[in-house]
Amino acid sequence: MVINGQSLLDLKPIANMERIKIVANGMSYGLSEAGYDIRIAQDITLDKDKSFSLASALEYFHMPDNLIGVVHDKSSWARQGLSVFNTILEPSWMGYLTLELFYRGETPLVIKAGSPIAQVIFHEIKERATYSGKYQNQGPEPTPSIYER
Radius of gyration in angstroms for the set of CA atoms belonging to the chain, rounded to a whole number: 15
Cα 3 to chain centroid, rounded? 16
> How many CB atoms within 10 Å of residue 52?
12
State yes or no: is 18 an active-site residue.
no
d(CA 40, CA 49): 21
Q: What is the 3-state composition of the chain as percent helix, strand, coil, each rounded to the nearest 5?
A: 5, 45, 50
Give me the catalytic one of 18, 33, 90, 100: 100
d(CA 86, CA 137): 19
H or E element, residue 10: helix 5-11
Catalytic residues: 100
